[in-house]
């Protein structure tokens, strides 16, 4: 991946009808239901973990390095839609 492909991905992502955050699943689901004007039903919490963060700092840096453009795309996209 390079900057050209990244910019294409960002442009395409901005054309999506709705993009939610997995880490804010309930909030995103509610927003999507509202945007689609559909009934919002309760979702059960399944397969939840009591652990906040299973990664140590070194592992996080390594993973972010291998997924640099994914992290950049995620951060830039959600920053732009905040406005």
Q: Give every CB contact of residue 19 below 8 A, 6+ residues apart in sequence.
A: 13, 77, 81
17: nearest Cα among 35, 40, 44: 35
Q: Which residues of the chain have pLDDT under 50?
A: 83
Please name which of 51, 71, 75 lies closest in space to residue 61, comparing C-alpha atoms.
71
**What is the pTM for the complete model shown?**
0.67
| pLDDT of res. 44 | 66
pLDDT digits (tens, 9 = 90+) for 42-55: 776 676 777 777 78
């Amino acid at each position: 991946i390079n900057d050209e492909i990244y910019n294409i991905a960002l442009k395409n992502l901005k054309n999506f009808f709705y993009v939610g955050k997995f880490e804010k699943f309930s909030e995103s689901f509610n927003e999507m239901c509202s945007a689609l004007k559909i009934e919002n039903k309760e979702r059960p919490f399944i397969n939840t973990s009591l652990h906040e963060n299973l990664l140590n700092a070194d592992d996080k840096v390594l993973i972010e390095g291998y997924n640099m453009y994914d992290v950049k795309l995620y951060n830039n996209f959600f920053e732009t839609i905040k406005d």
